[in-house]
Amino acid sequence: MLETNGSNPEKVVIQFGGRMVKGYLESPVRNTIEELLSNAPSGSPETFRIRRLDTDLVEDVPVKDVKAVFYVNSFEGSSEHKSLNFYTRAPTVHGIWMRLQFLDGEVMEGIVFNSLRYLVDPGFFLLPTDPGSNNKLVYVVKSWLADHRVLGLRKI
């Protein structure tokens, strides 16, 4: 069992392209998305420590092998959900509104915290802008991106 002192186990789905791992990632307790994004650890993580859903096995997953880490509301998701892109009632978060396309063709939109770290780190956090999405937050590994575009800026 993972220790939970000062942390909150987050439901995550880690995608590697053709396969995925579901489980719980330990992360610091944050009250708001803005607090999480602005207080992200300095430097990119080298591994994600996850307690697997299917076996309760705790393992370190190297970031270099990962496409993205999806912080989710539920492990089931909704296969019926149709992605809603570029809508006008996005969450009000200071940042850059981006459209990403992964190497496997998946497309998503979201807000990226506007900082130098977005440019220099090998990955970044994206706050999805689709209100019906099962994803609360996504850690995107840049080497898995085929394309990314700035759609606009958001200010509080």
Q: Domain locations in the chain?
A: 7-74+91-154
**DSSP H helices in the chain:** 33-38, 116-120
The region that residue 17 occupies, defined by phi over 0 for left and psi between -120 and 50 for alpha, beta otherwise, is left
Question: CA 48 to CA 65: how far, in whole Å?
Answer: 11
- pLDDT, tens digit, 9 for 90 and up, residues 52-62: 988 878 888 88
**56, 106, 141 from 67: Cα distances, Å:** 22, 11, 6
Contact between 88 and 76 (Cβ < 8 Å): no
What average pLDDT does this structure show over 110-138?
A: 85
Where does the pLDDT of residue 3 fall: very low under 50, low under 70, confident under 90, or very high at 90 and above?
very low
**DSSP H helices in 17-62:** 33-38
pTM of the model: 0.75
Contact between 112 and 40 (Cβ < 8 Å): no
Q: Average model confidence (pLDDT) for the chain?
A: 77
Give the Cβ contact number of residue 115 at 10 Å: 15
